[in-house]
Chains A and B, each alone.
Chain A
Amino acid sequence: MTFATTKRRALLTAAGIAGLLAATPALAEVTVLGWPGGPEETALRAAADAYNAKPDVAENDKVELLFFNRDGFWDKLQADLAAGSKAFDLNLLATYSIGRYAPFMEPVELSDEAKAVYGDSVLATMQYQGKQYGVPTDLSLHFMYFRKDLIEALLKDDAGKAKYAEISEKYLGKKLEPKTPDEWTWDDYAATALYFTQAVNPDSPTRYGTVLQLKNLLFNIMVWQSVPRAYGANWMDDSGKITVNSDAYRKGLEIYKLLYDNGATPKDSLSYEFAEANAAFASGQVAAMLQWNAAAGDLTSKEKSPAVAEVTETVAPPAGPEGRFTHIHGLGFGLNKNAENKEGAAKFLKWLSSKEAALTYAKNSGAPALTPEVVTEVAVARPDLVKLGEFAGKYGYVMNGATSAKALSVYELQAKEFTGYWSDQQSIDDALANTEKGMADLLK
């Protein structure tokens, strides 16, 4: 065999393979980029399996899931969408990031049942400029987690009540009496946190009264901002004027500062986020904390939190003069503008907004906020979803401007400035003034 023959055969083989590849129809699955790890992934997997098992779903429209790390998830998604990525047809969406991603996404059509399943307020968590950009799958809000054994013991203990009054007068300037957590104001929460702190009350059964998550991280500001909100805080008024340099924000910042400075939360709280706070509470050395609803499963599981599972209760966050509030935001799925299989993706989204999908999602660890009529169907298996829907309806709020394109940047700015105050690197006046100026630039 000559070299020329060999070369000709190699070229023919290569051309044949190329032709074969070109003739093969592209695989057109619907690729969904989900929120990795945790109950959201479990629920999405179950929903995708249920959808793929349906006889009327074409082979080319089967759903395939894609996950990457939670760290920097939104930044990576931002870069992918801006680059026109076709790696996924549907992607995760959050209330606070809709404005940021809307230019790279397309509005979606929901099923006819969607309104009856979720209700208007929950569907609104996935809307931007009047258009529906996603199907709401999980709702996040905050619970006040507390040790009922400790609180019940305090309510029966006269000496403890006297000590409680003494501590509250010394640190908060007013004598307070212990109350059940469902009646707490933020002052009651602060007084209870100080009472159960060994640095303040050496007889306390716990090392710390609370655990604050104070890492310079946007999600921690979402947890904290229900405090100033209870005193009337908002990002901006109806005319668009930034209103963070206010007494309400000042009060919220000062309550956390008081607790940190007096050792009511671990000294390393300035590096704490979700996981660290949960670990502290689960150790049995913390009396109460404000935390995302997503922690409820772990903190009430005997396997995962044996020290506290049986004595942990949850209520809505404490009240302030303006009422009782919890930050809410939704996670959901929307359509990538550059999706390769838009038709298949739209079909899946429509199904995902149906009652069948919502119940599948709920039964498999998801946290959809369902209307009272629908939630009754899973109330036995998921009693926490009843509370979720109730709290979202009664106490849920979204700050003015918190769905804008720069909402995440505003949270980042607040995290940097406010942690600067809590760690004594700047005064409260500077922190509020810098935040006001930065927000005016971002939201102009």
Chain B
Amino acid sequence: MASLRPSGQQTQIGAMTIARPQSNAPEFRLLATPLVLFLLVFLGFPALVNLVYSVSEVSFETLRQPKFTGLANFLSVWSDAAFWQASWFSLRFGVLTAILECLLGLFLAIFLSPLIERRSWLMAILMLPLMVAPALVGLMYRLVLHEFVGPVPYYLWTYFGASVSFLGPGSAFWTLVVVETLQWTPFTLLLFYMAYQAIPSEIAEASAMDGARSLQRLWFIELPMMGPTIAAALLIRFIDGFRVFDNVYVLTGSGPGGSTASLSIYIYEAFFKQGAIGKAVAASVVLFVASFAVLYSLNALASRRKGAKR
């Protein structure tokens, strides 16, 4: 089996030796310069400005003359009940939608696998919701769920005499979860279908010969082999759900009393609607630090598990 072993300026792959460029070589620096400049200009500079604004009193009129106020913006965010309400909304929304999308995507990937194998064009149809911009999805559901225009309330009224409130205070959260799940399940379906297809058929045949039934094969062989893909899908969907903005904003705004304000909506409203630029930026810095801490912890956990397996 080929061994991959770095050794100074060379990499050994089996019998082959490949020369590796030195990271401090002039051509290496030259090639890296555009990327470094790009990152400095488009990420580094805004990040620096954000850090300055987060500790300043600043408005649209004083963008170029921010006044240093220390940690006042962070304290304001920390003591703002709306910030915690938005954090709780985002966390619940992110976790629930990620789990639902992965469960549904996994079920469809396995259940529809034989059908998609024979008729691959079906996959293109199943992917259609992904092609629609989230803001348009929000608009579409504003029509679909409207009591006097939408088909869903129409049939509920016609056949059951019921006027269901889909976007009222008690049901808006769940309606938003369903809308998000319906749009993004195709993404997890695609990932899981590819992972499922990548499982070698020899393994399935061998387990069948050993007497494993379908459910046993799924539970003990296929799902563990799809594990890394499932974990990646959960993480990606959680991040996307946590930072949700478009469809929620179009459907319910920040909701009555701010009940459907996600963290992204909270930051947007603080920035634009209240003109509290320092507070909005401070909230985004808090969000960045929290996200970094979560990702760092997950990475550390994954590395430890990897080490333990070795």
Contact A412 B273 (CB under 8 A): yes
Of residues 244 through 275 on chain B, the ones whose CB sits less than 8 Å from some CB of chain A are: 250-259, 269, 272-275
Residues on the B chain within 8 Å of A280, using CB = 147-148
On whether A216 and B273 interact (CB within 8 A), knowing A82-B60, A103-B61, the answer reads no
**B258:A416 contact, CB within 8 angstroms:** yes
Pick from B142, B254, B256: contact of A423, CB below 8 A: B256
A residues less than 8 Å from B147 (CB atoms) = 266, 268, 280
CA distance A423 to B269 in the complex (A): 20
In the complex, the chain A residue whose C-beta lies closest to that of B269 is: A412
Are B61 and A285 in contact, CB atoms less than 8 angstroms apart? Answer: no
Contact indicator B61/A419 (Cβ below 8 Å): no
Quick one: given A267-B168, A268-B147, A280-B147, are A216 and B60 in contact (CB under 8 Å)? Answer: no
Nearest CB in chain A: distance from B266 CB, A: 11
**A422 at interface, CB cutoff 8 A:** yes
B168 and A416 contact, CB distance less than 8 A: no
CA A268 to CA B148, docked complex, whole Å: 11
Q: List 28 A-B contacts (CB under 8 A).
A: A71-B250, A72-B272, A75-B273, A81-B60, A82-B60, A82-B63, A215-B256, A266-B147, A266-B165, A267-B163, A268-B166, A270-B168, A271-B167, A271-B168, A279-B148, A280-B148, A285-B148, A412-B273, A412-B274, A416-B258, A417-B257, A422-B256, A423-B256, A423-B257, A424-B169, A425-B169, A425-B256, A425-B257
A158, B149: Cα distance in complex, Å: 35
Add 15 more A-B contacts to A271-B252, A426-B257 (CB < 8 A). Answer: A79-B60, A215-B252, A216-B258, A217-B253, A268-B147, A268-B165, A270-B169, A271-B167, A279-B146, A279-B149, A280-B147, A408-B273, A416-B254, A421-B257, A423-B169
By beta carbon, the residue of chain B nearest A423 is B256
- A406 adjacent to chain B (CB < 8 Å): yes
Give CA–CA (A88, B92) in the complex, Å: 43
Contact assessment for B257 and A216 in the assembled complex, using a CB-CB cutoff below 8 Å: yes
Main secondary structure of the interface of B (DSSP, over half): loop
Count residues on chain B whose CB falls below 8 Å from chain A CBs: 32
A residues 399-444 in Cβ contact with B at 8 Å: 406, 408-409, 412-413, 416-417, 419-426
CA distance A417 to B274 in the complex (A): 14
Residues of A within 8 Å of B254, CB to CB, are: 216, 416
- Cβ of A104 to closest chain B Cβ, rounded Å: 8
Top 9 A-B pairs ranked by shortest CB distance? A420-B257, A267-B165, A423-B256, A75-B272, A271-B167, A419-B256, A283-B148, A82-B60, A425-B257
Report how many residues on chain A are interfacial, defined by Cβ distance under 8 Å: 40
Q: Which residue of A lies closest to B81 (CB)?
A: A434
Residues of B121-169 whose CB lies within 8 A of A: 142, 145-149, 163-169
Contact bitstring B228-255, A, C-beta under 8 A = 1, else 0: 0000000000000000000000111111
A82-B63, A271-B251 known; A276 and B146 CB under 8 Å?
yes
Q: Would you give the shortest CB distance from B174 to chain A, in whole angstroms? A: 14
Q: Which A residue sits closest to B257, measured CB to CB?
A: A420
A271-B167, A280-B147, A285-B148 known; A419 and B257 CB under 8 Å?
A: yes
Tell me, yes or no, whether A376 is within 8 Å of chain B by CB.
no
Inside 8 A of A60's CB, which chain B residues have their CB? none
Using Cβ atoms and an 8 Å threshold, which residues of chain A touch B256?
A: 214-216, 270, 419-420, 422-423, 425
Q: Cβ of B258: which chain A residues have Cβ within 8 Å of it?
A: 216, 416, 420
**What is the distance, in angstroms, from A425's C-beta to the closest C-beta of chain B?**
4
* Cross-chain contact A409 with B165 (CB below 8 angstroms): no
Q: Which residues of the other chain, A, contact B63 by a CB distance below 8 angstroms? A: 82
Q: How far is the CB of B10 from chain A (nearest CB, A)?
A: 36
Chain A residues 135 to 185 lying within 8 A of chain B, measured CB to CB, are none
User: B172 near A: Cβ within 8 Å?
Assistant: yes
Q: Does A78 sit within 8 A of B, measured CB to CB?
A: yes
CB-based contact B167/A268 at 8 Å = yes
Contact indicator B253/A216 (Cβ below 8 Å): yes
Tell me how far the C-beta of A102 lies from the nearest C-beta in chain B, rounded to whole angstroms. Answer: 10
Q: Which residues of A contact B142 (CB under 8 A)?
A: 276
Q: Which residue of A lies closest to B148 (CB)?
A: A283
**Taking the nearest CB of chain A, how far is it from the CB of B80, in angstroms?**
12
Determine how close the nearest CB of chain A comes to the CB of B139; give it in whole angstroms.
Answer: 10
B145 contacts which chain A residues (CB < 8 A)?
Answer: 268
Docked CA distance A103–B172 (Å): 40
The answer to whether B255 touches A78, judged by C-beta atoms less than 8 angstroms apart, is no
> Which A residues are in CB contact (< 8 Å) with B257?
216, 416-417, 419-421, 423, 425-426
CB neighbours (8 Å) of A78 from chain B are: 60, 272
Interface residues of A in 54-113 (CB under 8 A from B): 71-72, 75, 78-79, 81-82, 100, 103
What B residues does A423 contact at CB under 8 A?
Answer: 168-169, 256-257, 259
Specify which chain B residues have a CB less than 8 angstroms from the CB of A424 in the assembled complex: 169
Residue of A nearest to B149 (CB): A279
In the complex, chain A residues whose CB is within 8 Å of the CB of B163: 207, 266-267
Given A409-B275, A420-B258, A423-B257, CB of A82 within 8 Å of CB of B148 = no
Task: List chain B residues, Cβ under 8 A from A420.
Answer: 256-259
Q: What CA separation (Å) do A285 and B255 show in the bound complex?
A: 25
Chain B hits for A207, CB < 8 A? 163
Partner of B275, one of A266, A267, A406, A416: A406
Known A216-B258, A271-B172, A279-B146; judge A409-B273 contact (CB<8 A): yes
Residues of A within 8 A of B167 (CB): 268, 270-271
Q: Which residues of B contact A81 (CB under 8 A)?
A: 60
Mark contacts of B41-84 with chain A using CB atoms, 8 A cut-off: 1 yes-contact digit, 0 otherwise.
00000000000000000001101000000000000000000000
Chain A residues with Cβ below 8 Å from B251 are 271
> A406–B254 Cα gap in the complex (Å)?
20
Contacts of B169 in A (CB 8 A): 270, 423-425
